[in-house]
Copies of this chain bind each other. A is one copy, B any other.
Amino acid sequence: MDFDNTQPIYKQIIDGYKKQLIRGELQQGDKIPSQREYAEKLRVNPNTVQRAYREMESMQMVETVRGQGTFIMADLNMQNRFRQEMADALLSYFIREIGSLGYTGEEALQMLAARQAAMKEESCND
């Protein structure tokens, strides 16, 4: 058993931006908060935010312009790639965990379908 199995904070920051991109809340050209500002908001060490921003830069997800700020550079292509990567990771996690509870893939599919059917019905009744 392993405690504190959270992702490192800088990775969580990156994932947060990826999600905003995927949901369309951020688009190419948008300005994101300054490192200092964001560090304060998250109550996190500025170095942590810096590391996140640096990695995002190195994968050309954002672009930093000296004296101006940091801007989204990711295009629709990258956005889609992120979406698939995150979905893949989530799928892997789900399959591994549900398997460790002793459910077969068939059962997992059925449970998921049943849940969605139930949710659909519920939303119709609203």
Residues of A within 8 A of B (CB): 1, 3-6, 9, 12-13, 16, 19, 22-23, 42, 44, 58, 83, 86-87, 90-91, 94-95, 97-98, 100-103, 105, 108-109, 111-113, 115-116, 119-120
Contacts and interface: CB of A to CB of B under 8 A. Distances in A.
Main secondary structure of the interface of A (DSSP, over half): helix
How many identical chains are in the complex? Answer: 4
B116 A95 contact: yes
Nearest to A113: B109
Q: Which 6 A-B pairs have the closest CB atoms?
A: A105-B116, A94-B94, A1-B16, A6-B6, A90-B97, A3-B9
9 contacts: A3-B6, A5-B6, A22-B102, A90-B98, A91-B98, A91-B112, A95-B115, A109-B113, A112-B112
B4 A100 contact: no
B98 A111 contact: no
Contacts of A101: 19, 22-23, 83, 86-87, 90
